[in-house]
């Protein structure tokens, strides 16, 4: 391990976050402590395997590095803590340029404010490589290499185990954990001492070992020229169409669960047959992994298609395999993978729906109304109805509460199980969108939240090496799930006050006020009771912004998330609300983030429409009609949307205070004056109201509450609800225009819409 720097007189080990430019420094003592801690966790994992089965030990070690370790260190910037029985996020201090010698390391994922036990790869590896990245790449290449050359399976697993334990061999030995003799000998060889068993080619192995732990350009020269591996990719086509094709929450949840379950099962199959280190990605309904040769690749291709079709009753899957020189994977990863994806694209075009047409005499499924019925199901009320195979499988899965993303979230938050949401230990999954509603609010509003990452494409294009690519994939997954779990826990606690919670718990079968969906990739999708959905959006973007805040001067693209949130009547058609949230609001939010150069991080575009028929047909028209006034002297924009997390938090808090103070009516009248009348007249009305308050003739406080400058985010420092220019802010997050007219912002409508959700 190298000494990478010297800060404040302390010799430190350093790891650089390649995606934000942040640096994490450690003293020698800290690095030793982190290594002992990680070795202890690895040892505990190995000790769970009984007997001397080297293969089982190697598989356990592979799972430790490929899954447990990344979930332990990511996210870097936040953890979870329990306060008054409720789970909430805690931000970790940015170490900045100093080394915190009192730092304590996490012993489990999201372990309070303890710091992640980062182990830099060290040696000649670039500063952003983690030891885990290097361990996994070396093991994967050694694994494939041995299989190609027909090396005895026993020896293969000895070599794998040597790859996984070698870097921490000293720590393992010091704690009394004895590696088998043959593993120790191979560790010594890999570290540069002695010879390998005759079956292994010493020269090739050393080259692979070295190539796995150096910068991309260098790896190109070191890796054996003739060594190639086959990459297999499988991806479900039109995931959204499959999940949202029918309106019922049970079928939607079922569809999402089936896809994530079969993906996970296939990843386990690959890990069992070939080793977890060869799996590059397994999330949503997308798989990427390495196999020894084209023949094995073709077999897996067929198997992926078959398994997805069998699990779903007929979903479109594209799969492809491509053989690539290892030099390209190590030195030119993005371009090399591009070749695999070209293949996938070609395979995609050949995919045909399995249920093309319904013949005129066939009875159609009562749920999807498209495919031919193959059986019957009994709805809660009424007679049995015809159902197709696809809908039947979804329905059965959706009704099975044992399998659900909610359980994964609860595991992620460690502690409390179902009870952590504050709605009782036996709260069930919502069976319909109406079940999401808590208590008896004035309007039965459901939020449809849809989101994804900004700049992920740009990040992926920069990935030159397979090691960093894997780190990125694992980090995105860990951060997305942790942020989702914590944001929901906080949103439910804030939005469901104790009396509501008690009322909900008193129901015969209380249900949770949210449903998270797995949609593949870094897509975020969930349904929630209106207030929970809005709070979730705010917390989720705040957490992910924190994780990916770039270091000062970092020149890479800023990573952040954008969300679309449509809050509409629980009876609105799901196909319509999802399409609007994803197709219109999310796109709007992403556009605004891009136009701002991602300066303030992620963005949220929300819209509250109490009835389904108010969902705009054309968002641009709607924006102009509802929120924009040309004005005689200057244009006025009546909304701040899309907003940042801090801005949404501010607006939600202000809306809640107005409601508590009994100003819902006053707010509605004032907002209507801006929407319906001339801005000039509306401003006069506002000033008149303010003057009355000052004289104490009216029940004072409405404008005073609006003008309270406390807790305003910096981007709204100049805010005046009666109208004010806000720096360079453009209407609807539009592109900055040089020399254009300044726009005044008078965003009372934002508060008026949010209050409707809180009533
Ligand atoms: Zn159907």
> 158-175 burial by CB neighbour count: b if 16+ within 10 A, else e?
bbbbbbbbbbbbebbeee
φ/ψ of 174, rounded to 5, equals -65, -30
Average pLDDT, the chain: 90
Locate the domains of the chain by residue range.
Answer: 5-222, 227-403, 424-615, 618-759
Element (H, E) at 628: strand 628-629
Q: What is the pLDDT of residues 33-49, one digit of tens each?
A: 999 999 999 999 999 98
Which are the contacts of 194, defined by CB distance < 8 A and separation ≥ 6?
Answer: 185, 188
Which are the contacts of 13, defined by CB distance < 8 A and separation ≥ 6?
Answer: 1, 2, 3, 4, 25, 26, 27, 28, 30, 31, 120, 122
Question: Could you give the percent of the chain with pLDDT greater than 70?
Answer: 94
Which are the contacts of 158, defined by CB distance < 8 A and separation ≥ 6?
Answer: 54, 58, 180, 182, 183, 186
pLDDT above 50: residue 320: yes
Query: For residue 25, how far is its CA from the centre of ligand 1 (angstroms)?
Result: 56
ipTM above 0.95, yes or no: yes
Query: For residue 375, how far is its CA from the centre of ligand 1 (angstroms)?
Result: 10
Cα separation, 604 vs 589, whole angstroms: 5
Is 629 buried (19+), middle (13-18) or exposed (0-12) by CB count in 10 A?
buried
Query: Which SS3 state, helix, strand or coil, does residue 525 take?
Result: strand
In whole angstroms, how far apart are CA 585 and each of 37, 607, 643? 45, 8, 12
Average pLDDT score over residue span 684-704: 82
Query: For residue 514, how far is its CA from the centre of ligand 1 (angstroms)?
Result: 25
Average pLDDT score over residue span 572-598: 95
Answer whether 479's CB lies under 8 Å from 614's CB: no
Query: For residue 577, how far is its CA from the centre of ligand 1 (angstroms)?
Result: 20
Cα separation, 419 vs 415, whole angstroms: 9
pLDDT band at 97 (very low <50, low <70, confident <90, very high): low
Query: For residue 305, how far is its CA from the centre of ligand 1 (angstroms)?
Result: 21
Cα separation, 175 vs 559, whole angstroms: 40
Query: For residue 233, how far is its CA from the centre of ligand 1 (angstroms)?
Result: 28
pLDDT above 90: residue 339: yes
Residue 434 confidence (pLDDT): 93
Q: What is the pLDDT of residues 737-749, one digit of tens each?
A: 777 778 999 999 9
- The DSSP code sequence of 167-185 is GGHHHHHHTT-PPPHHHHH
Q: What is the pLDDT of residues 654-675, one digit of tens each?
A: 999 999 999 999 999 999 999 9
In whole angstroms, how far apart are CA 176 and each of 40, 56, 117, 687? 11, 20, 22, 77
Cα separation, 414 vs 134, whole angstroms: 29
Query: For residue 283, how far is its CA from the centre of ligand 1 (angstroms)?
Result: 26
Residue 194 confidence (pLDDT): 84
> 675-686 burial by CB neighbour count: b if 16+ within 10 A, else e?
eeeebeebbebb
pLDDT above 50: residue 379: yes
pLDDT band at 536 (very low <50, low <70, confident <90, very high): very high
Cα separation, 162 vs 183, whole angstroms: 5
Residue 347 confidence (pLDDT): 85
Q: Which tokens is 247 given?
A: 């309106």
Query: For residue 367, how far is its CA from the centre of ligand 1 (angstroms)?
Result: 5
Query: For residue 316, how far is its CA from the centre of ligand 1 (angstroms)?
Result: 15
Cα separation, 666 vs 690, whole angstroms: 12
Query: For residue 371, how far is its CA from the centre of ligand 1 (angstroms)?
Result: 5
Residue 351 confidence (pLDDT): 64
SS (H, E, C) 24-44: EEEEHHHHHHHHHHHHHHHHH
Query: For residue 262, how far is its CA from the centre of ligand 1 (angstroms)?
Result: 20
Query: For residue 392, how far is its CA from the centre of ligand 1 (angstroms)?
Result: 7
Query: For residue 447, how far is its CA from the centre of ligand 1 (angstroms)?
Result: 26
Query: For residue 175, how far is its CA from the centre of ligand 1 (angstroms)?
Result: 58
pLDDT band at 484 (very low <50, low <70, confident <90, very high): very high
The number of C-alpha atoms within 13 Å of 11 and in the hemisphere containing its C-beta is 5
Query: For residue 268, how far is its CA from the centre of ligand 1 (angstroms)?
Result: 30
Query: For residue 390, how far is its CA from the centre of ligand 1 (angstroms)?
Result: 6
Cα separation, 566 vs 577, whole angstroms: 7
Helical H runs in 559-618? 574-580, 587-595
Query: For residue 395, how far is its CA from the centre of ligand 1 (angstroms)?
Result: 10
Query: For residue 364, how far is its CA from the centre of ligand 1 (angstroms)?
Result: 8
Domain 227-403 has CATH 3.40.50.11890: no
Q: Which tokens is 137 given?
A: 């790449």
pLDDT above 80: residue 716: yes
Query: For residue 625, how far is its CA from the centre of ligand 1 (angstroms)?
Result: 40
Query: For residue 345, how far is its CA from the centre of ligand 1 (angstroms)?
Result: 28
Write down the residue that tokens 């036990």 correspond to: 117
Supply the angle between the helices 748-758 and 530-547 in degrees, to the nearest 10: 120
Question: Could you give the percent of the chain with pLDDT greater than 90?
Answer: 65
More confident residue, 48 or 403: 48
pLDDT band at 401 (very low <50, low <70, confident <90, very high): low
In whole angstroms, how far apart are CA 238 and each of 286, 318, 577? 12, 10, 18
Query: For residue 253, how far is its CA from the centre of ligand 1 (angstroms)?
Result: 15
Cα separation, 335 vs 226, whole angstroms: 19
**Length, in residues, of the chain:** 759
Query: For residue 575, how far is its CA from the centre of ligand 1 (angstroms)?
Result: 15
pLDDT band at 95 (very low <50, low <70, confident <90, very high): low
In whole angstroms, how far apart are CA 268 and each of 261, 265, 279, 303? 11, 5, 9, 14
Q: Tell which CATH architecture fits domain 424-615.
A: 2-Layer Sandwich (3.30)
Q: What is the pLDDT of residues 11-40, one digit of tens each?
A: 578 899 999 999 998 888 899 999 999 999
Q: What is the pLDDT of residues 676-688, one digit of tens each?
A: 888 888 999 999 9
Query: For residue 313, how far is its CA from the centre of ligand 1 (angstroms)?
Result: 10
pLDDT above 70: residue 248: yes
Query: For residue 541, how far is its CA from the centre of ligand 1 (angstroms)?
Result: 36
> Taking the mean position of all CA atoms in its chain, how far away is CA 407?
16
Average pLDDT score over residue span 705-715: 92
Write down the residue that tokens 């957490």 correspond to: 543
Residue 679 confidence (pLDDT): 83
Residue 502 confidence (pLDDT): 73
Query: For residue 378, how far is its CA from the centre of ligand 1 (angstroms)?
Result: 14
Long-range contacts, 505-509 (Cβ 8 Å, 24+): 505/423, 505/424, 505/427, 509/426, 509/428
Query: For residue 369, how far is its CA from the centre of ligand 1 (angstroms)?
Result: 6
Residue 5 confidence (pLDDT): 44
pLDDT band at 295 (very low <50, low <70, confident <90, very high): very high
The number of C-alpha atoms within 13 Å of 645 and in the hemisphere containing its C-beta is 21
Q: Which tokens is 664 given?
A: 């819902």
Query: For residue 568, how far is its CA from the centre of ligand 1 (angstroms)?
Result: 26
pLDDT band at 382 (very low <50, low <70, confident <90, very high): confident
Please indicate whether the domains covering 227-403 and 424-615 agree at the CATH topology level.
Answer: yes
Query: For residue 566, how far is its CA from the centre of ligand 1 (angstroms)?
Result: 27
pLDDT above 50: residue 2: no
Query: For residue 246, how far is its CA from the centre of ligand 1 (angstroms)?
Result: 8
When mean pLDDT is compared across 265-269, 403-407, 439-443, 446-450, the lowest value belongs to: 403-407
pLDDT band at 6 (very low <50, low <70, confident <90, very high): very low
Query: For residue 384, how far is its CA from the centre of ligand 1 (angstroms)?
Result: 14
Residue 238 confidence (pLDDT): 83
**Residue 295: how many other CB atoms lie within 10 Å:** 11
pLDDT above 60: residue 269: yes
Q: Which tokens is 151 given?
A: 């090396």
């Amino acid at each position: 391990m190298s000494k990478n720097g010297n800060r404040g007189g302390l010799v430190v080990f350093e790891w650089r976050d390649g995606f934000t430019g942040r640096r994490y420094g450690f003293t020698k003592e800290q690095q030793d402590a982190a290594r002992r801690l990680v070795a202890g966790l690895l040892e505990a994992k190995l000790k769970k395997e009984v007997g001397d089965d080297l293969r089982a030990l190697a598989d356990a070690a592979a799972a430790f590095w490929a899954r447990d370790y990344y979930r332990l260190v990511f996210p870097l910037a936040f953890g979870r803590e329990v306060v008054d029985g409720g789970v909430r996020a805690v931000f970790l201090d940015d170490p900045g340029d100093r080394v915190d010698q009192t730092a304590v390391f996490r012993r489990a994922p999201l372990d309070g404010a303890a710091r992640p036990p980062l182990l830099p790869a060290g040696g000649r590896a670039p500063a952003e490589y983690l030891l885990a990245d290097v361990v996994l790449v070396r093991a994967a290449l050694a694994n494939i290499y041995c299989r190609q050359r027909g090396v005895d399976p026993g020896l293969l697993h000895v070599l794998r185990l040597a790859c996984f334990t070698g870097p921490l061999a000293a720590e393992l030995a010091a704690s009394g954990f004895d590696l088998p003799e043959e593993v120790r000998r191979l560790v010594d060889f890999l570290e540069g001492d002695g010879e390998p068993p005759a079956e292994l080619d010493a020269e090739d192995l050393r080259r692979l070992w070295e190539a796995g732990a150096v910068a991309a350009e260098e790896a190109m020269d070191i890796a054996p020229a003739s060594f190639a591996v086959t990459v297999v990719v499988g991806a479900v086509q039109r995931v959204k169409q499959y999940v949202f094709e029918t309106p019922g929450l049970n079928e939607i949840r079922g569809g999402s669960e089936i896809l994530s379950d079969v993906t996970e099962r296939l990843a386990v199959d690959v890990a069992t047959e070939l080793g977890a280190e060869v799996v590059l990605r397994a999330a949503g309904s997308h798989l990427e992994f390495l196999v020894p040769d084209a023949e094995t690749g073709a077999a897996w291709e067929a198997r992926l298609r078959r398994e997805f079709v069998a699990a779903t009753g007929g979903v479109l899957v594209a799969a492809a395999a491509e053989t690539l020189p290892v030099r390209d994977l190590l030195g030119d990863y993005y371009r090399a993978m591009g070749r695999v994806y070209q293949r996938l694209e070609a395979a995609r075009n050949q995919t045909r729906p399995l249920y093309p047409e319904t013949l005129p005499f066939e009875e159609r499924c009562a749920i999807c109304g498209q495919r031919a019925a193959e059986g019957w199901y009994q709805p809660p009320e009424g007679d049995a109805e015809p159902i197709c195979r696809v809908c039947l499988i979804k329905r059965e899965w959706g009704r099975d509460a044992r399998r659900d993303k909610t359980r994964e979230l609860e595991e992620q938050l460690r502690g409390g199980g179902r009870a952590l949401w504050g709605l009782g230990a036996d709260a069930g999954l919502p069976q319909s969108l109406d079940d999401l509603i808590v208590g008896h609010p004035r309007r039965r509003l459901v939020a449809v939240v849809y989101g994804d990452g900004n700049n992920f494409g740009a990040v992926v294009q920069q990935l030159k090496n397979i090691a960093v690519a894997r780190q990125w994939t694992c980090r995105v997954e860990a951060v997305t799930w942790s942020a989702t779990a914590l944001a929901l826990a906080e949103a439910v606690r804030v939005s469901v006050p104790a009396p509501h919670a008690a009322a909900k718990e008193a129901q015969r079968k209380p249900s949770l006020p949210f449903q998270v969906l797995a949609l593949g990739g870094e897509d975020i999708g969930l349904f929630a009771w209106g207030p929970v959905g809005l709070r979730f959006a705010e917390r989720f973007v705040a957490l992910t912004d924190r994780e990916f805040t770039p270091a000062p001067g970092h020149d890479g693209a800023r990573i952040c998330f954008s969300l679309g949130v449509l809050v509409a009547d629980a009876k609105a058609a799901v196909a319509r609300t999802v399409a609007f949230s994803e197709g219109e609001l999310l796109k709007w939010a992403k556009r605004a983030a891009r136009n701002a150069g991602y300066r303030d991080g992620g963005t949220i575009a929300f819209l509250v429409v109490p009835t389904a028929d108010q969902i705009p047909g054309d968002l641009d028209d709607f924006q102009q009609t509802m929120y924009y006034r040309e004005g005689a002297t200057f244009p006025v924009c009546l909304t701040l949307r899309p907003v940042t997390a801090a801005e949404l938090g501010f607006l939600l808090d202000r809306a809640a205070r107005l409601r508590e103070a009994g100003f819902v009516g006053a707010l509605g009248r004032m907002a209507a004056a801006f929407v319906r009348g001339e801005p000039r007249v509306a401003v006069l009305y506002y000033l008149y109201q303010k003057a009355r308050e000052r004289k104490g003739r009216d029940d004072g406080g409405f404008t005073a509450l609006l003008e309270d400058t406390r807790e305003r985010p910096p981007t709204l420092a100049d805010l005046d609800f009666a109208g004010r220019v806000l720096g360079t802010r453009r209407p609807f997050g539009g592109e900055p225009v040089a020399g254009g007219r300044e726009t005044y912002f008078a965003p009372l409508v934002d508060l008026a819409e949010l209050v409707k959700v809180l009533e």
